[in-house]
Amino acid sequence: MRIHWRVVGGIADYGVHKAVSSQVDWRVIREDFPILRQQVRGHDLIYFDSAASSQKPGPVIDALRNFYERDNANVHRGLHALSGRATEAYERARQRVADYIGAASPDEVIFTRGTTESINLVAQSWGGRFLREGDVILLTVMEHHSNLVPWQLLAERKGARLRFLPVLDDGTLDVDQLSNLLTPEVKLFAFTHISNSLGTINPVADLCAKARALGAVTLVDAAQSAGHMPVDLQKLGCDFLAFSGHKMCAPTGIGVLYGRAELLDSMPPWHGGGEMIVSVTLEKSTFKKPPHRFEGGTPNIAGAVGLAAAIDYIEGIGRLSIFEHDRQLAHYAADRLTELPRTRVFGPKGERGALVGFVMDAAHPHDLTTFADQYGLAMRGGHHCNQPLMRRFGVSGTTRASFYFYNTMEEIDQMMEILQRAVRFFS
């Protein structure tokens, strides 16, 4: 793996990340992303859609190619060299993920297809066994459909009830309402770390501590945070954590569910098949311990190898540096967007994640996003799988510009020129 930058080590305090970020040569890092070196419709590509899926650096692409060229075979079942190597790489990736998020053991790391599958696993396995009629699942109004629909399905099946922590006008959670909503009937509190439409960074550790005090299990949707900032389970204190590889430089089709060991041990399998059993008779089966109990069938071995390479790459830069870099981009974009006439910018004024959603009176988000594409600017327009949140703010959708460490301030200036052009075109 190529490392062209130097990062100060031992930074324990978020207060110093500016100094850290300024030591990274972001332009050199951008060169690691071959896809960014292209023109779209005659213009240099500006990729502002990383909240939907990130681009992949050379070292991750190389790791996938190396795996398929040298080590590819099925895992766990084989007694030959290639299978041994593939198994080792797959289990090494699990350890890499455990270290990345501060899990106590790799056995607490389950590979899934992504955040959506991770949350469905908890809903079906944990929810199926432990939720009772009349129990309450507490969510927030800012949840992605992935952290809403699985709970709706579960609540319907079990006769449980859903409650929602409201969102304030500034895009933050109305945490004052917790005293009314977080009652002893709440068995699970599931919420996002960073909102994929507002950029709000939620106070995960506080929310988890409050839930734990009442005996509620917590699940954190880290889809928008795992690749953008330090995510340390020992600090967050959640019971489950879900994220997707493809939003953090890894391939699609690989993701993670972290679960606290005691909880995973108590949960039944959710997918039956090969890999997850100890013994099978025609009538009955016994099952492996976690994590393999939850990984029926051939897993995404190359995906796990790619995820480990992505983690190496991200940690080579440093998550504090990435956080600070992305934060500067998001703040700059949010500020500059206010220059546009009759434009509403969503999300908190203070700390925010690497994205900004906005609506221009002059154009529907779909039209604006299609207009931008004519200039090689890739953004996303629509409800972003946040229909209830859009309704909360009285809009059908927004245009979202989302950033990652390969983006630059100059690209935001170019975005502004394109949007100024859109104002003239649509007015």
- Active-site residue set: 385
Looking at beta carbons only, is 223 or 334 nearer to ligand PLP? 223
Shortest distance (Å) from residue 148 CB to ligand PLP = 10
Out of 50, 54, 87, 115, point to the residue binding ligand PLP (CB under 6 A). 115
DSSP 251: P
> 73 CB contacts (<8 Å, ≥6 apart)?
80, 82, 83, 85, 86
- Cβ atoms of 192 and 167 closer than 8 Å: no
DSSP 49: B
Looking at beta carbons only, is 124 or 147 nearer to ligand PLP? 147
| Cβ count within 10 A of residue 234 | 9
Q: What six digits make up the tokens of 225?
A: 């945070």
**Helix-strand-coil split of the chain, %, nearest 5:** 45, 20, 40
* Span interacting with ligand PLP, options 114-122, 229-237, 360-368, 389-397, rule CB under 6 A: 114-122
Whose tokens are 């995510």? That residue is: 231
- Cβ atoms of 42 and 376 closer than 8 Å: yes
Shortest distance (Å) from residue 114 CB to ligand PLP = 3
B/e letters for 300-318, b = 16+ CB within 10 Å, e = fewer, are bbbbbbbbbbbbbbbebbb
> 382 CB contacts (<8 Å, ≥6 apart)?
365, 366, 369, 397, 398
The Cα angle at residue 142 between residues 137 and 147, in degrees rounded to 5: 50
Q: How far apart are CA 205 and CA 261, in angstroms?
A: 19
Looking at beta carbons only, is 196 or 369 nearer to ligand PLP? 196
Total site size for ligand PLP, rule CB under 6 A: 13
Looking at beta carbons only, is 125 or 147 nearer to ligand PLP? 147
User: Helix, strand or coil for residue 315?
Assistant: helix
Shortest distance (Å) from residue 197 CB to ligand PLP = 8
Amino acid making up residue 345: V
Q: How far apart are CA 85 and CA 82, in angstroms?
A: 5
C-alpha 183, offset from chain centre: 28
The residue count of the chain comes to 427
Shortest distance (Å) from residue 116 CB to ligand PLP = 3
Amino acid making up residue 100: Y
β-pairing, 136-140 vs 46-47, is unpaired
C-alpha 33, offset from chain centre: 20
Among 146, 191, 192, 141, CA closest to 167:
141
Looking at beta carbons only, is 223 or 412 nearer to ligand PLP? 223
Out of 17, 56, 94, 144, point to the residue binding ligand PLP (CB under 6 A). 144
Q: Looking at residues 146 to 175 of the shown chain, list those that interact with ligand PLP (rule: CB under 6 A).
A: 146-147
DSSP 207: H
Residue 120 interacting with ligand PLP (CB under 6 A) = no
Q: Looking at residues 188 to 207 of the shown chain, list those that interact with ligand PLP (rule: CB under 6 A).
A: 192, 196
Residue 124 interacting with ligand PLP (CB under 6 A) = no
Looking at beta carbons only, is 21 or 54 nearer to ligand PLP? 54
* Span interacting with ligand PLP, options 82-90, 141-149, 355-363, 375-383, rule CB under 6 A: 141-149
Shortest distance (Å) from residue 223 CB to ligand PLP = 3
* Span interacting with ligand PLP, options 142-150, 152-160, 227-235, 389-397, rule CB under 6 A: 142-150
β-pairing, 240-244 vs 217-221, is parallel
Shortest distance (Å) from residue 43 CB to ligand PLP = 26
Residue 114 interacting with ligand PLP (CB under 6 A) = yes
Shortest distance (Å) from residue 278 CB to ligand PLP = 30
Per-residue x/- mask for ligand PLP, residues 49 to 78, rule CB under 6 A? Answer: ---x--------------------------
Out of 21, 116, 321, 407, point to the residue binding ligand PLP (CB under 6 A). 116
Looking at beta carbons only, is 256 or 372 nearer to ligand PLP? 256
Looking at beta carbons only, is 67 or 243 nearer to ligand PLP? 243
Per-residue x/- mask for ligand PLP, residues 211 to 250, rule CB under 6 A? Answer: ----------x-xx-------------------x------
Shortest distance (Å) from residue 183 CB to ligand PLP = 26
Q: What residue ranges bind ligand PLP (CB under 6 A)?
A: 52, 114-116, 144, 146-147, 192, 196, 221, 223-224, 244
